Amino acid sequence: MNKEKVELGDRVKCLVTGIVGIAICQVSYLYGCKQFGVKQRVNKDGVIPKINWIDEPQLEVLQKGVISPEVKPESLEVKPKYGGNREYPK
């Protein structure tokens, strides 16, 4: 099996649970454990699944760069506002 390095924005599959989703965040712990937050698609009932935290060695990369981490808020259709009438920091 070709073990590619997991990067944010990749479509991944957990080899233990079978969960398939996009790696949207990562965390590294003090003693070397690295986990990725994997977000699945909205299901047919419209329920948004919670993020699943999965250890990096359990993940297989299905497709590289599905979502680019360089996406800026300016490219979104709906621009979020924080703190009342202020725009988010640029």
Q: Structural domain boundaries of the chain?
A: 11-75
Q: What is the pLDDT of residue 47?
A: 87
Q: What class, spelled out in words, does domain 11-75 have in CATH?
A: mainly beta
pLDDT digits (tens, 9 = 90+) for 43-90: 888 888 899 999 999 999 999 988 876 665 555 555 555 555 555 555
Angle at 39 between CA 38 and CA 40, to 5 degrees: 120
Who wins on pLDDT, 17 or 89?
17
Average pLDDT over residues 22-32: 92
**pTM score over 0.85:** no
Q: What is the pLDDT of residue 73?
A: 54
Of 9, 17, 84, the C-alpha closest to 39 is 9
